[in-house]
Amino acid sequence: MSAGGSRPSHAIELEGVSFVYPDGTWALRDVCLAVPEGGRVAIVGQNGSGKSTLLRHLNGLLRPSAGRVLVRGRETAGVPVERIARQVGLLFQNPDLQIFEEQVADEVAFGPRNLGLTGADLASAVMEALEAVGLRGLEHANPFNLGFSRRKLVALAAILAMRTPIVALDEPTTGQDGRGLGLVEEVVRRLADEGRTVLATSHDMRFVAETFERVVVMREGAIVADGTPDEVFAPAAWEVLRSTHLDPPPAAVVGGALGLGSTPTEAQLVAALRERDARYG
Amino acid sequence: MSGPAPGAAAAGRERRRGRIGWLEQTLAGITASIEHAVFTEQHARERGFLQARDPRAKLAIFLALVLAASLSGSITVLAGLYLVVLAAAGASHVPYRYFVKRVWLGIPLVAGIVVIPALFLVPGPRLFDLPAGPLHVAPSLPGVVGGVIFVARVGVSVSLALLLVMTTPWADLLKSLRALHVPQVFVLILSMTYRYIFLFLHTVNGVLQARKSRVVGRTSGAEQRRWISGTMGALVNRAFKMSNDVYAAMLARGFTGELRAYSTYRMRTTDWAVLAGSLTVAAVGVLAGPFLP
């Protein structure tokens, strides 16, 4: 990747990125976004708002029609996808478009193997990733015989095993039950603890509010709000959220009414409701 | 895996009840067969004699024995090779009934039809002469012997191929092909075709079921044909999009066109011994064939 002359403290930088699909659809319009190393950013917005298109720019699967994308300070223009893949791991929205091996372990090993891992290092990367998504013991299962939520977790493990410094997750919570959702939350937190940068798209506002430190709201290919969950889910921003067919998480609504801000914890909500109950009978 | 595939059984029940069209029957049958083929990896995961062998050794053994079967004109040698195959299948926990049935139910239909003309056209003494109106059914002895040998050769070769596939995971088999310097592009195409034909058939079945769930009553043949032609176009489109997406997902995980199998192989002493033994059997079969009936 050629040097872009930008601050190396940024994992991802999008400078005035626009993208037009061959059929003339504008998917991104002059998007500017800088994500620091180790940042945890959720990208939300209605279907077709450009979230997935944006993520596909991060590892060069899509190239901007205008503007530029920098990964860890280096411009991605002209750099092959397989080289950017060493920096950015991308989880696809539909696991069936990502999975193609007949064994879970083979599927998870595909990425790290391509990055040059072999022997014990490879085996440890595979087992660690499977452990993280709760699929240890299913190494020899055929992924196509697993249910959708587990296939999605296999796809997630396949990205984790690559141990890239930047991880982009396209709708990681889709189709997950409570356990799966908990695993995905835990994965995101662990990645952040390890100092890795995480970007994820999601329609699950509770997941977004509780797991990410920054929320970017997109509408019709443009960023219309960008801030902490507290700011984005605050009553003042609800109009913007609703303009892109999103509702603030219930905790933000109740927390706002109780004066607890827009990202109260469950414990804070319960305590405030008990206090209110005690005060007013 | 000795019983019929679940999909095929369901299709059979549906057919008996008369609720299902010929297209659905065909697709359900194809899907069930492929699903069955995929499930045969269950045998490949078992702890048997052949499963424990290095896949490259197995592939070399397979090629040597198929070559021996093809070159042999002796029914004794072919019977001996088949006994070796059966012994190896038994030692590898492959169910005999399924294994034998799968080979010998299909071969008379394919190989048998091919040899029928030879039974009558090869010159030599006639086995019998059965008048049938203006025609005479009179197979020749050399024709019958040649036919039996041909069918036996095909049977042994198909049995060897089936045994290899049943006792070797597909990924290992492909890696073995690479070890034999089969071109990368060929191996990759083979690998992707195998992997996605199953997924694609599931998509086709999904489309059929979605249609079925919205159709009330019977549809005419013309209507079905019209729908099929439309669906075929849509599926080609979908397959093209899917192939692009799958390739993009592979690139996103650092794929550069080189296949790298997860397992690392090492030829052990037993593998070399089995390989040497098999090559000897093949050589003896070829050399001794001309002296045996």
- The tens digit of pLDDT for each residue in A96-151 reads 878 877 789 988 998 998 888 888 899 999 999 999 999 999 988 888 788 889 99
- Sign (positive or negative) of CA dihedral A249, A255, A261, A267: negative
Q: Which residue has the higher pLDDT, B201 or A69?
A: A69
CA R_g for chain B: 24
* B169 contacts on A by Cβ (under 8 Å): 102-103
Calculate the average pLDDT of chain B. 78
- With a cut of 70, say whether residue B266 has pLDDT above it: yes
Question: Does B254 sit within 8 Å of A162, measured CB to CB?
Answer: yes
**Do A117 and A125 touch, CB atoms closer than 8 A?**
yes
Cα–Cα dist B182/B160, whole Å: 20
Identify the band that residue A10 occupies on the pLDDT scale cut at 50, 70 and 90. Answer: very high
Q: Does B169 touch chain A (CB under 8 A)?
A: yes
Mean per-residue pLDDT for B139-150? Answer: 85
Cα–Cα dist B274/B157, whole Å: 19
Q: Which residue has the higher pLDDT, A225 or B14?
A: A225
- Residues pairing with A170 in the sheet: A201
Pick the range with the lowest mean pLDDT from B29-38, B77-86, B201-210. Answer: B29-38
Mean per-residue pLDDT for B161-172? Answer: 84
Cα–Cα dist A234/A240, whole Å: 11
Q: For tokens 């750099």, name the residue.
A: A79
- With a cut of 50, say whether residue B124 has pLDDT above it: yes
- With a cut of 60, say whether residue B263 has pLDDT above it: no
Q: For position B235, what pLDDT does the model report?
A: 80
- Sign (positive or negative) of CA dihedral A113, A118, A119, A123: negative
Identify the band that residue A2 occupies on the pLDDT scale cut at 50, 70 and 90. Answer: very low
Task: Give residue-wise pLDDT tens across range A25-61.
Answer: 999 999 999 999 999 999 999 998 999 999 999 999 9
- With a cut of 80, say whether residue A201 has pLDDT above it: yes
Q: How many other β-carbons are positioned within 10 Å of the β-carbon of residue B43?
A: 23
Cα–Cα dist A151/A172, whole Å: 11
Identify the band that residue B255 occupies on the pLDDT scale cut at 50, 70 and 90. Answer: confident
- With a cut of 70, say whether residue A156 has pLDDT above it: yes
Q: Give CA angle at A219 (A216, A220), nearest 5°.
A: 135
Q: Where are the alpha helices (DSSP H) in A161-237?
A: 178-193, 205-211, 229-232
The structure tokens listed for A121 are 């290092």
Task: Give residue-wise pLDDT tens across range B24-53.
Answer: 667 667 666 666 665 556 777 778 888 888
- With a cut of 60, say whether residue A5 has pLDDT above it: no
Q: For position A211, what pLDDT does the model report?
A: 92
CA proximity to A103, closest of A145, A70, A53: A145
| DSSP result, B219-267 | --HHHHHHHHHHHHHHHHHHHHHHHHHHHHHHHTTT--S----SS----
Q: For position A1, what pLDDT does the model report?
A: 52
| Residues 6+ positions from B73 with CB-CB distance below 8 Å | B149, B289, B290
- With a cut of 90, say whether residue B177 has pLDDT above it: no
Identify the band that residue B260 occupies on the pLDDT scale cut at 50, 70 and 90. Answer: low
**Do A43 and A216 touch, CB atoms closer than 8 A?**
yes
Cα–Cα dist B89/A35, whole Å: 59
Q: Which long-range contacts (CB under 8 A, 24 or more apart) does A190-193 make?
A: A190/A132, A191/A160, A191/A167, A192/A38, A192/A40
The structure tokens listed for B19 are 């609720």
Give residue limits of the domains in chain B. Answer: 50-169+263-293, 171-262
Pick the range with the lowest mean pLDDT from A84-98, B6-20, B50-64. Answer: B6-20
Q: Does A111 touch chain B (CB under 8 A)?
A: yes
* A61 contacts on B by Cβ (under 8 Å): 248, 251-252
* B248 contacts on A by Cβ (under 8 Å): 56, 61, 81, 97
Q: For position A7, what pLDDT does the model report?
A: 46
Calculate the average pLDDT of chain A. 89
Where does chain A show beta strands of DSSP type E?
2-3, 10-20, 26-36, 40-45, 66-71, 74-75, 88-91, 166-170, 197-201, 214-219, 222-227
Task: Give residue-wise pLDDT tens across range A262-278.
Answer: 788 888 888 888 888 88
- Residues pairing with A10 in the sheet: A36
The structure tokens listed for B278 are 């098999």
Question: Does A92 sit within 8 Å of B249, measured CB to CB?
Answer: yes
Question: Does A92 sit within 8 Å of B245, measured CB to CB?
Answer: yes
Distances (CA, A) of B210 to A52, A115, A149, B207, B236: 27, 41, 22, 5, 18
The structure tokens listed for A203 are 């329609």
Comparing CB atoms, the residue among B41, B246, B254 nearest residue A85 is B254
* ipTM of the prediction: 0.78
- With a cut of 50, say whether residue B19 has pLDDT above it: no
- With a cut of 80, say whether residue B160 has pLDDT above it: yes
Pick the range with the lowest mean pLDDT from A1-15, A82-96, A124-138. Answer: A1-15
**What pTM did the predictor assign?**
0.69
- With a cut of 60, say whether residue A3 has pLDDT above it: no
Q: For tokens 């620091």, name the residue.
A: A36
Question: Does B252 sit within 8 Å of A90, measured CB to CB?
Answer: yes
Mean per-residue pLDDT for B173-189? Answer: 79
| DSSP result, A110-146 | HHHHHTT--HHHHHHHHHHHHHHTT-TT-TTS-GGGS
